[in-house]
Amino acid sequence: MTTSRPPLLDEAADILLAPGGLALDDLESGLGHALGPGIDYADLYFQRSWHEAWVLEDGEVKEASYNIDGGVGVRSLAGERTGFAYSNQITADALAETGRTAAGIVRSGSRLSLARPMAVRAELRYGGVDPLTGLSAEEKIALLKAADRVARAADPAVSQVSASLTGVHEVVLVRASDGTLAADIRPLVRFNVSVIAVRDGRRERGSAGGGGRYTMARLRDENVAERYAKEAVRQALVNLEAVAAPAGQLPVVLGAGWPGILLHEAVGHGLEGDFNRKGSSAFAGRMGQRVAAKGVTVVDDATLADRRGSMSVDDEGTPGQNTPLIEDGILTGYMQDKLNARLMGMTPTGNARRESFAHLPMPRMTNTYMLAGEDDPQDILRSVKRGLYAVSFGGGQVDITSGKFVFSASEAYLIEDGRITAPVKGATLIGNGPEAMGRVSMIGHDMELDTGIGVCGKEGQGVPVGVGQPTLKLDELTVGGTQS
């Protein structure tokens, strides 16, 4: 066994277990406490993370912070029941105490035996590197100052510039009673620029950013400071010209890339296994049925190289996958973790995610996107007599039971007689997921992924995600402006 262990496993064990005097072989007894009478599955999730943030304001990096987090989460399952406890300490004593606590969810029943540990072999979707070490403190500061310089030089209307550089180095190890033994080292970095532009007494914000599962050095090499500074200024200047948005039902064209947040809200959450097992999703019981217009194909793909939402293995140790959710308009798949897959008689899809060791895993999205169609984006715009062209969004939300979703445009334009005319102020779009998906009438050939900025919240837990889509036309959606 030991000789064929993936190298990540030994590295993770050195980082997570060794400081508390533990080795991989000691996890058997730790897991034994969690696999008490009547428990049919138990797992241990070890995690340590190092988080760094550098923030520029007024041309100076005046704030920087560093955070160290870590511990072990222990979970015991019995049927639909979950017992959960966690500790900041990774020691034999802490494993015994949290294990007994978690197993207390049931007190009777037979005691299962532990399956022999099998190291999970998963393809690596990103480099197992510490993303914080590639650049010196001086280089990190220089990167932020470059963004400030570029933004201020871009237009005299720019009055405030803030920029941030953040990175997380995360090491996880999972050992489960079904034999799973897996480890992952997950880098995550992000660069963000936000500007305020003032003209004629009017004040508007613009922001841009991105990143992924790689090093801070790569952010520098990709010239993000200049790129995002210019983009943030461009957006603020567009908003300075924006007129009131229309109100009512209109055809809506969504730009490629980040507007894929529509899929995340309107479709993605409704296809997570837990909501469908409980029957609380508007998509529950609709497997094999038409839930979107022909031509609409949506996947959740954890395997994309270096993307923000990617995972080599999920937080239960299942390898990340590319899971088709909707194929040519037909519902074909849910996103599953082990608990919900087992209760629904399905297979885990590598979508178990948790914010940290102190949170329970749930079925969550990774990178969710719609595949390209065949339409020319220009033809899509030309097909609209009067409508809205939305190219960037602030955020969205869904009520998975009624299917109602909303999302807020941060950059949008009027379409008049097939041409893009005036920019309009941020309008909220509202619709019903299955209905809106049925109204997709044109799909561009320009599929794009977002730049790496998404955070998805569910039951109070935030995890990084990716979205994407080609330019899309929805024949009708409610636009919540002020011009009725």
Partner 1 sequence: MTQAFDAAAQQSLLESRSRMALELARRLGADACEVGASVDQGMGVSVREGEVETVELSRDQGIAVTVYLGTRKGSASSTDAGEASIRAVVEKAVAIARHTGEDPAAGLADAALMATELPDLDVHHPWALTTEQAIELALACEAAGRGRAGIKSSDGASLSSGEGVRVYANSHGFLGSQRGSRHSFSCMLIAEDEAGMQRDYDYTSARNPRDLLTPERVGESAAERTLRRLGARRPATGRLPVLFDPSLAAGLVGSLMGAIAGGNLYRQASFLCDRLGDSLFPEWFGLQERPMEVGAMASSPFDNDGVQTRDNVFIEDGRLASYMLSAYSARRLGMQTTANAGGARNLRLAAPLVPRDELLARMGRGVVVTELMGQGVNAVTGDYSRGAAGFWVEDGEVQYPVEEFTIAGNLEAMYRGLAGVGSDTDTRGSIHTGSWLIDEMTVAGG
Nearest distance from C-beta of residue 120 to partner 1, angstroms: 26
Q: Which is nearer to partner 1, 249 or 378 (CB)?
A: 249
Nearest distance from C-beta of residue 245 to partner 1, angstroms: 7
Nearest distance from C-beta of residue 92 to partner 1, angstroms: 17
Nearest distance from C-beta of residue 373 to partner 1, angstroms: 27
- Piece of the chain touching partner 1 by CB under 8 A; list 177-185, 364-372, 414-422, 473-481: 473-481
Spatial distance between the Cα atoms of 57 and 76, rounded to a whole number of angstroms: 47
CA distance to 72, 105, 187, 418, 471, per residue, from 379 (Å): 54, 59, 40, 9, 11
Binders in 218-257 for partner 1, by CB under 8 A = 245, 247-249
* Under rule CB under 8 A, residue 87 binds partner 1: yes
Contacts of 252 by beta carbon, 8 Å cutoff, 6+ apart:
387, 388, 389, 390, 429, 473, 474, 476, 477, 479
Nearest distance from C-beta of residue 284 to partner 1, angstroms: 9
User: In one letter, which amino acid is 266?
Assistant: A
Q: Which is nearer to partner 1, 70 or 348 (CB)?
A: 70
CA distance to 19, 52, 70, 137, 139, per residue, from 67 (Å): 18, 6, 10, 16, 20
Nearest distance from C-beta of residue 59 to partner 1, angstroms: 8
- Piece of the chain touching partner 1 by CB under 8 A; list 3-11, 30-38, 99-107, 224-232: 99-107
290 DSSP assignment: B
Spatial distance between the Cα atoms of 1 and 120, rounded to a whole number of angstroms: 12
- Piece of the chain touching partner 1 by CB under 8 A; list 20-28, 59-67, 163-171, 218-226: 59-67
Contact residue for partner 1 among 91, 441, 461, 483 (CB under 8 A): 483
Scan for tokens 């041409």, then name that residue. 419
Contact residue for partner 1 among 91, 160, 322, 461 (CB under 8 A): 160
Spatial distance between the Cα atoms of 29 and 326, rounded to a whole number of angstroms: 43
Binders in 306-335 for partner 1, by CB under 8 A = none
Binders in 354-373 for partner 1, by CB under 8 A = 358, 360
Number of residues that bind partner 1 (CB under 8 A): 74
* Under rule CB under 8 A, residue 347 binds partner 1: no
The torsion angle over the Cα atoms of residues 137, 138, 141 and 146, rounded to 10 degrees, is: -150
The answer to whether the CB of 338 falls within 8 A of the CB of 154 is no
Angle at 450 between CA 172 and CA 438, to 5 degrees: 110
E-assigned strands of 88-157?
A: 118-119
Helix %, strand %, coil % of the chain (to 5)? 25, 40, 35
The answer to whether the CB of 366 falls within 8 A of the CB of 302 is yes
Contact residue for partner 1 among 6, 11, 26, 64 (CB under 8 A): 64
The torsion angle over the Cα atoms of residues 282, 286, 289 and 291, rounded to 10 degrees, is: 20
Q: Which is nearer to partner 1, 122 or 163 (CB)?
A: 163
Q: Which is nearer to partner 1, 281 or 297 (CB)?
A: 281
Q: Which is nearer to partner 1, 40 or 57 (CB)?
A: 57
The answer to whether the CB of 283 falls within 8 A of the CB of 465 is no
Contact residue for partner 1 among 8, 172, 229, 282 (CB under 8 A): 282
Binders in 252-281 for partner 1, by CB under 8 A = 278-280
Binders in 395-434 for partner 1, by CB under 8 A = 395-397, 399, 401-408, 425-428, 430-432
Contact residue for partner 1 among 86, 191, 228, 334 (CB under 8 A): 86
